[in-house]
Amino acid sequence: MAPDSGPGRTDPAERLLHRDEAVLILDKPAGLPVHAGPRGGASIEDWLPALAFGKRRLPQPAHRLDQDTAGCLVLGRTKPALAALGALFAEGRAAKTYWAVVRGGPAADSGTVDAPLLKRSTAREGWWMAVDPAGQPARTRWRVLGRGPGLAWLELRPRTGRTHQIRVHCAHLGCPILGDARYGGGEGRMHLLARAIALPLDPPVSATAPPPPHMREALATCGWRP
């Protein structure tokens, strides 16, 4: 799937949400993986030279976002910064906020999903994450920000950082993310945005990403206004 760059947003430097001597926060486009896969292809790695800004060391991602997830991606510009960021993410101290447009919607207006996740795979279907008591603990707080015909706009705050956590937890709620074919959200582009991040560094660092173009119509249906 081609990256969703939006008008005037093809230059990596123009997609920066935050820049200091140690940390960059990039508005990653949907459809562009963070790392090139075994088959190669375009990825955020191709953008790193343009984001060096004179430093000899290229910045490096401090965490991952799924290929089809848009929004806040944190990069470290130095070895100490990357180590500090890695510790924040590993210890769950990076405060992450996501927006999703989901099919249907939860009956309540807020709540918490506490459902462990386990990786499964078959030769035919590849791998996926499933709710399973034998899996790793996974917890997500959520609240409804708006509703539309057949849709809901959710804010989600993961308290753990499991693979596909937001996607599986939305499906577990009975309202898979729009466009998430793997977990029941149907075909099309996935409507998931890493909306904001807050890092307890010294000084603190935070950023907020705008909704990508492909999410705006569904968000507007649920009451979002630019």
- Point out the residues that are catalytic: 66
As a whole number of Å, the CA-based R_g of the chain is 17
With H, G, I as helix, E, B as strand and everything else as coil, classify residue 84: helix
The residue among 96, 100, 191 whose CA lies nearest residue 146 is 100
Tokens 């190669």 found at: 40
The residue among 84, 59, 61, 88 whose CA lies nearest residue 72 is 61
With H, G, I as helix, E, B as strand and everything else as coil, classify residue 153: strand
- Measured in whole angstroms, the distance separating CA 50 from the mean position of its chain's CA atoms is 22
| Omega prior to 203 cis, within 30 of 0 | yes
